[in-house]
């Protein structure tokens, strides 16, 4: 089914059209949609599948998604019905009744479970994918790694129904991103399942001299019917690759939702190490409280992720996510409290991200993407090769980690820094953990450079840079925009209380694992092995 579209304004429709999935207007169209009532469950709990379909019957399959896709449940001949969907379903939820309920067996292991709903049509089989995560309620946590999936970021980028935290059909003229998003809607195509040929958001290699700025993942998504945001968020682009690598490397691993950090913080107890990977941009205050307490009391955090940017809030018992972002000071009902949903580095919040993970998103952000640091090395230049994380890598001072696999992209986190005698240190203008060491450091940018195209054809506008200029320097002018245009991405390590944090501040670290980069694999294994002791 073709996506709904709001027009391309005469520019590349793959890049500038706001297109999205929603139920068909044509009542004769063959379709099926499904979402689960929660993102994560425990064994023995009941999953409610909310299904709307044009068919009178459909099948539902559940498969555990790890090294191989293992089908663990199938039911055919389920009764189907098409239900009305609100125009603002992305904000308030679809409101469909539960079409099928399933009690999860007590012996199912923790992991990610792919849900596939299918119907037969005149043109063949129509199917749609959903996903739920399963916690562990078994003993043995002290020997296992816990992967905390970035479900807040999945929600923020999911544009099913028309709106997300970036584009939308919200507002008086139906053309604004929505600060409120419902979890009670399907996941957009590409968030759960992707073919191997799907491009990543980061450039696979530097462009040729004089080539225009391009966005291959958006071109592919538009041509193939996938969400424009598939490469920015979702199980298929990030957590799945890390899970599969960890299992191949011999690590035992459980999975939970990021929302559990707030709603069920006890689920992280007893695990020796938490892992965060990929694009992990949206967090609540309470989620940070859980991780901070965990580390203070001896827990270890391995963060192979980037863009720790926005504070969120929950509404409706965790069924809606709130983030006003750039409009927070004008529109957020809690703009007079530290729960205002804007950047962590904003004075109104007063809780820089570096206090939890050592790095700030506001000091990044873009590299190896579009016209931002397009000709960069693609990896982290290493400054302290004697650190234990680099044992066995063969890396020396000035060598670049992950250049071939392009791990330094497409959004990175950093700090303001100074270089003394060839080594980088925090400059002191930001709050950072006292013993933080900068192990690797690369350059990022918040302005795209035009190459053979008009500036109006660049995807990244001036909004991000202007926001950083105002936040960091108090005003927006030529000088502050220039200052805000320059950023960095870093690898850092520090201790807090009885615990420890290692943070490779890049969204694309998982690309090094997916592409089997031996040095990236060795660093990852070094961190996990140390933290699981």
Per-residue pLDDT tens over the stretch 279-305? 999 999 999 999 999 999 999 999 999
- Return the ∠ at Cα 515 (arms to 511 and 521), rounded to 5°: 80
Q: pLDDT value at position 1?
A: 39
pLDDT tens-digit series, residues 443-490: 999 999 988 767 778 998 888 999 999 999 999 999 999 999 999 999
Q: What is the CA radius of gyration of the chain?
A: 22
243, 121: one domain: no
Question: Any idea which residue has 């299992």 for tokens?
Answer: 247
Q: pLDDT value at position 8?
A: 54
Among left, alpha and beta (phi > 0; psi -120 to 50; other), residue 318 is left
List strand residue ranges (DSSP E) for 329-482, in order: 366-367, 380-381, 400-401, 410-411, 417-420, 423-426, 437-445
Q: 215: which DSSP letter?
A: -
pLDDT bracket for residue 140 (50, 70, 90): confident
Domain end: 80, 103, 135, which one? 135
For residue 87, the domain's CATH number is 2.60.40.1930
Give a yes or no: residue 3 inside a domain: no
For residue 356, the domain's CATH number is 3.40.50
List the beta bridge partners of residue 279: 306
List strand residue ranges (DSSP E) for 330-436, in order: 366-367, 380-381, 400-401, 410-411, 417-420, 423-426
242 contacts 112 by C-beta, under 8 angstroms = no
In the three-class reduction of DSSP (H, G, I as helix; E, B as strand; rest coil), residue 239 is classed as helix
34 contacts 49 by C-beta, under 8 angstroms = yes
231-239 average pLDDT score:
98
Give a yes or no: residue 274 inside a domain: yes
Give a yes or no: residue 188 inside a domain: no
* pLDDT higher than 80, residue 415: yes
245, 364: one domain: yes
* pLDDT higher than 70, residue 7: no
Domain end: 101, 135, 169, which one? 135
List the beta bridge partners of residue 501: 301, 494
**What secondary structure does DSSP assign to 436-488, as a single string?**
-EEEEEEEEESSPPPSSS-GGG-S--SHHHHHHHHHHHSS-SHHHHHHHTEEE
523, 408: one domain: yes
120-149 average pLDDT score:
92
pLDDT bracket for residue 3 (50, 70, 90): low
111 contacts 134 by C-beta, under 8 angstroms = yes
244, 122: one domain: no
Distances (CA, A) of 207 to 79, 215, 295, 460, 487: 52, 11, 42, 18, 21
Q: pLDDT value at position 190?
A: 98
Structure tokens at 422: 């060839």
DSSP H helices, 339-424, are 354-357
pLDDT bracket for residue 137 (50, 70, 90): confident
410, 261: one domain: yes
491 contacts 520 by C-beta, under 8 angstroms = no
Smallest Cα–Cα separation from 345: which of 334, 361, 331?
Answer: 361
299, 439: one domain: yes
The H or E element containing residue 249 is none
> Residue 264 contacts by C-beta under 8 Å, 6 or more apart in sequence?
none
101-120 average pLDDT score:
97
pLDDT bracket for residue 2 (50, 70, 90): very low
Give a yes or no: residue 292 inside a domain: yes
* pLDDT higher than 90, residue 381: yes
Structure tokens at 207: 């462009």
Q: pLDDT value at position 359?
A: 98
Distance CA 441, CA 334 (A): 36
54-80 average pLDDT score:
97
The H or E element containing residue 152 is helix 151-157
Per the prediction, the chain carries an average pLDDT of: 95
369, 494: one domain: yes
Give a yes or no: residue 193 inside a domain: no
Give a yes or no: residue 264 inside a domain: yes
437 contacts 426 by C-beta, under 8 angstroms = no
Give a yes or no: residue 61 inside a domain: yes
6-17 average pLDDT score:
75
For residue 508, give its domain range.
152-158+233-531
Smallest Cα–Cα separation from 374: which of 453, 476, 445?
Answer: 445
Q: pLDDT value at position 453?
A: 67
Give a yes or no: residue 269 inside a domain: yes
Q: How many percent of the chain have pLDDT more than 70?
A: 98
Q: How many domains does the chain have?
A: 2
pLDDT tens-digit series, residues 326-366: 999 999 999 999 999 999 999 999 999 999 999 999 999 99
Q: pLDDT value at position 25?
A: 86
Distance CA 4, CA 176 (A): 16
131, 237: one domain: no
Estimate to the nearest angstrom the gap between the alpha carbon of 437 and the chain centroid. Answer: 25
């Amino acid at each position: 089914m073709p996506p709904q579209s709001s027009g391309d304004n005469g520019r590349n429709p793959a890049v500038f059209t706001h297109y999205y999935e929603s139920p068909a207007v044509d009542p004769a169209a063959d379709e099926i949609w499904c979402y689960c009532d929660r993102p994560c469950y425990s064994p023995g709990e009941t999953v409610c599948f909310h299904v709307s379909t044009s068919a009178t019957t459909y099948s539902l399959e559940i498969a555990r998604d790890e090294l191989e896709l293992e089908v663990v449940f199938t039911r055919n001949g389920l009764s189907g019905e098409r239900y009305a969907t609100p125009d603002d379903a992305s904000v308030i939820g679809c409101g469909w009744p539960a079409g099928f309920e399933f009690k999860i067996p007590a012996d199912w292991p923790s992991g990610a479970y792919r849900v596939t709903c299918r119907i037969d049509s005149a043109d063949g089989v129509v199917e749609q994918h959903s996903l739920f995560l399963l916690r562990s309620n078994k003993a043995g946590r002290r020997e296992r790694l816990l992967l905390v999936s970035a479900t807040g970021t999945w929600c923020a980028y999911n544009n099913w129904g028309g709106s997300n935290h970036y584009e939308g059909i919200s507002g008086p003229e139906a053309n604004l991103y929505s600060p409120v998003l419902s979890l009670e809607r399907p996941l957009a195509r590409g968030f759960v399942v992707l073919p191997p040929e799907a491009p990543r958001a980061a450039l696979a290699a530097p462009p040729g001299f004089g080539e225009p700025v391009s966005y291959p993942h958006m071109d592919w998504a538009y041509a193939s019917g996938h969400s424009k945001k598939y490469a920015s968020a979702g199980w298929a682009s990030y957590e799945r690759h890390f899970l599969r690598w960890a299992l191949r490397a011999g690590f035992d691993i459980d999975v939970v939702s990021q929302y559990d950090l707030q709603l069920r913080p006890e689920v992280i107890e007893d695990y020796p190490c938490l892992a965060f990977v990929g694009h992990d941009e949206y967090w609540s205050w309470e989620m940070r409280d859980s991780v901070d307490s965990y580390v203070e009391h001896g827990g270890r955090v391995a963060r192979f992720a980037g863009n720790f940017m926005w504070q969120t809030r929950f509404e409706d018992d965790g069924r809606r996510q709130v983030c006003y972002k750039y409009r927070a000071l004008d529109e957020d009902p809690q703009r007079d409290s530290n729960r205002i949903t804007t950047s962590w580095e904003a004075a109104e919040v007063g809780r820089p991200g570096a206090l939890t993970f050592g790095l700030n998103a506001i000091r990044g952000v873009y590299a190896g993407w579009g016209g931002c640091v397009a000709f960069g090395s693609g990896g982290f230049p290493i400054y302290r090769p004697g650190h234990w994380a680099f044992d066995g890598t063969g890396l020396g001072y000035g060598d670049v980690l992950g250049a071939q696999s392009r791990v330094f992209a497409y959004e990175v986190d950093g700090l303001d820094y100074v270089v003394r005698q060839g080594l980088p240190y925090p400059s002191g203008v930001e709050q950072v953990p006292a013993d933080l060491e900068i192990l690797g450091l690369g350059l990022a940018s918040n302005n795209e450079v035009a190459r053979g195209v008009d500036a109006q054809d660049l995807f990244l506008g001036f909004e991000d840079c202007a926001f950083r200029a105002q936040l960091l320097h108090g005003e927006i002018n030529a000088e502050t925009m220039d200052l805000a245009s320059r950023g960095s991405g870093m690898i850092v390590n520090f201790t807090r209380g009885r615990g420890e944090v290692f943070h490779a501040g890049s969204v694309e670290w998982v690309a090094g694992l997916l592409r089997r980069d031996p040095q990236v694999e060795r660093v990852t294994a070094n961190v996990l092995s140390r933290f699981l002791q």
